[in-house]
Amino acid sequence: MTARVVDSALDPAIAKRLKRNADGLVCAVVQQHGTHEVLMVAWMDDEALHRTLTTGRGTYWSRSREEYWVKGDTSGHVQHVHEVRLDCDGDALLVVVDQEGPACHTGTRTCFDADLLTPR
């Protein structure tokens, strides 16, 4: 994949703080509001972040389909965004949501329900 360069209406002050990977993306960790349960991890570019902040719906960049997707548009499992936080290094986002239904595309509550890896 080549670096994504898109025009975006994202606030320039926010855009300046982002540290994107080689593909122009920032990791987004999605957490359930109130319980702090980690639901999923996705990717955002400036435009996905702008759309999330302005619509209040979790909007991400699909690396496999190379298109934007709004969580719940096809599944009905909508994410209502309460807040977005930028980490101290600017290379990750915490997206705090109210999740309707499963967050994982497999139909489970979170993408972290399947395998527990225990340290020795």
How confident is the model at residue 29, as a pLDDT?
98
Tokens of 38: 């980690």
How confident is the model at residue 91, as a pLDDT?
97
CA 31/CA 36 separation, integer angstroms: 6
Q: Which helix (H) or strand (E) holds 83?
A: strand 79-86
How confident is the model at residue 42, as a pLDDT?
97
Instruction: Identify the structural domains of the chain with CATH numbers, from first to last.
Output: 12-99 (3.10.20.810)
Q: Is 97 exposed, middle or buried (0-12, 13-18, 19+ CB in 10 A)?
A: buried
How confident is the model at residue 46, as a pLDDT?
97
User: Are 43 and 28 within 8 A, CB to CB?
Assistant: yes
Residue type, 117: L
Q: Which residues of the chain have pLDDT under 50?
A: 1-2
Name which of 91, 44, 46 is nearest 71 in CA terms.
44
For the chain, what is the mean pLDDT? 93
CA 10/CA 4 separation, integer angstroms: 15
How confident is the model at residue 116, as a pLDDT?
85
CA 71/CA 98 separation, integer angstroms: 12
